[in-house]
Amino acid sequence: MFIRRAFTSALRGLNTHRTRSALTMLGIVIGVTAIILIVSLGEGAQALILGEVQSIGAKVIAIVPGREPKGPSDFLSTFTDSLKQKDLDALSRSTNVPHLGKIMPIVFGSYSVSYGSETYRPTIYGATPLFGEIYDVHPKTGRLFSDDEVRGYADTAVIGSKVVEELFGNEEALGKRVKIKEKSFRVVGVLETTGQSFFLNFDSAVIVPYTTAQQYLFGIKYFNRIVIEADTEDHVAETIEDVNTTLRASHNITDPEKDDFFLETQADAMKTVSTITDVLTLFLAAVAAISLIVGGVGIMNIMLVSVTERTREIGLRKAVGAKGSDIMLQFLLEAVILTVAGGLVGVALGAFFSFAISLILGRTLAVDWEFVFPVGAAFLGIGVAAAVGLVFGLYPARVASKKSPIEALRYE
């Protein structure tokens, strides 16, 4: 009964000064909205990236040249020529990697592609016909180049839908010849539209036989990647061990610390992505949470002003029998009610803006960006808002409770 009366008195006090109450809540609303927005978009981005990783398949293993980067300073160490034809041949032998399902070398770079007077700069990939199976991309029209064309250094190319749009417009692309680095390539296939991916965008890609790319485009005798696929998911770990053993033998490496290659699996990629997005989201949410502290300071200042303005009210209540604890509880409840209400409004606004931005990003980037409502962050935001009201409302409430009723009644 006592708490109910104090709560009613607090609501009546806030309702008497609606504008001031609304302005007092504003800092809390902004802070909680920012937290919900950041965490929601962060979780949405994480879900999208992890979905892209999972779409590649759990059996796929990428062999990357160079030392595995341990930090930003090691990034350039991956651009080496340590993966060569002898490594591809060694890995292809069933005696070395018995559970190997598929293997494909990849080279890549960027060159301008032209047709007539039109020019476009896509990513050029050199691969084998297996890229369609491994990455689950297929021709909308035409075909993929064949293994015979790979062995014969053929001048055939498969292009993405964006390349067709930029170079051919509404014109038929199949059978036409495009020029890359002064070499003419015949278009034998056009890929289905796949949309933007965080790892590969085949819409803006030209895929040619890797032998042709090495010989005539990039002028190299090494690979940028070797992608393999285990025969089953159960054999992934064993395949990784076999690959490491085979490449170390091929490179005459006895100390694993001196490996000039490293392997990336779906599990590794998902772990890395999750760690990065979690850290970034936590950092940005912490920055946004600073506004809650600022809002708390604002609440304390305005509550102190309120105590001064309501001095006669405080004196009158004490004169008719209210205790100091009653006055303190009322002002403390006013601060907590303001911050909790601000937290609830912030959660609602944060969810609304997150949903709207998710829709915009999904349509703008042509990706399946999922809206995620962060339940944990919502409860945390409201809880922190209540704590802020309690902490920063304590001092003004104490000041109000200490006022002398006689002096308060004399206040003008």
Q: What is the pLDDT of residues 234-291, one digit of tens each?
A: 888 899 899 999 999 999 998 888 888 998 877 666 666 667 777 777 777 777 667 6
123 φ, ψ to 5°? Answer: -85, 130
- Look at residue 338 in the predicted model and tell me its pLDDT: 80
Could you tell me if 356 and 220 lie in one domain?
Answer: no
Could you tell me if 287 and 346 lie in one domain?
Answer: yes
Which domain range does residue 335 map to?
2-53+271-410
Could you tell me if 229 and 109 lie in one domain?
Answer: yes
Residue 196 resides in a domain: yes
Contacts of 96-99 spanning 24+ positions with Cβ under 8 A: 96/242, 96/245, 96/246, 97/228, 97/239, 97/242, 97/243, 97/246, 98/242, 99/230, 99/231, 99/232, 99/235, 99/238, 99/239, 99/242
Could you tell me if 30 and 176 lie in one domain?
Answer: no
Could you tell me if 249 and 277 lie in one domain?
Answer: no
Could you tell me if 129 and 204 lie in one domain?
Answer: yes
> Domain boundary residue among 225, 259, 293?
259
Number of folded domains that form the chain? 2
Could you tell me if 294 and 330 lie in one domain?
Answer: yes
Could you tell me if 144 and 201 lie in one domain?
Answer: yes
Task: Report CA torsion sign: 161, 211, 53, 103.
Answer: positive
Higher pLDDT, 139 or 39: 139
Residue 65 resides in a domain: no
Could you tell me if 253 and 290 lie in one domain?
Answer: no
Residue 70 resides in a domain: no
Could you tell me if 162 and 236 lie in one domain?
Answer: yes
> Domain boundary residue among 259, 294, 327?
259
Could you tell me if 193 and 218 lie in one domain?
Answer: yes
Higher pLDDT, 403 or 163: 163
Could you tell me if 289 and 241 lie in one domain?
Answer: no
Q: What is the pLDDT of residues 80-113, one digit of tens each?
A: 788 999 999 999 999 999 999 999 999 999 999 9
Residue 27 resides in a domain: yes
Residue 227 resides in a domain: yes
Residue 75 has pLDDT above 50, yes or no: no
50 band by pLDDT with thresholds 50, 70 and 90: low
> Domain boundary residue among 259, 287, 308?
259
1 band by pLDDT with thresholds 50, 70 and 90: very low
Residue 62 resides in a domain: no
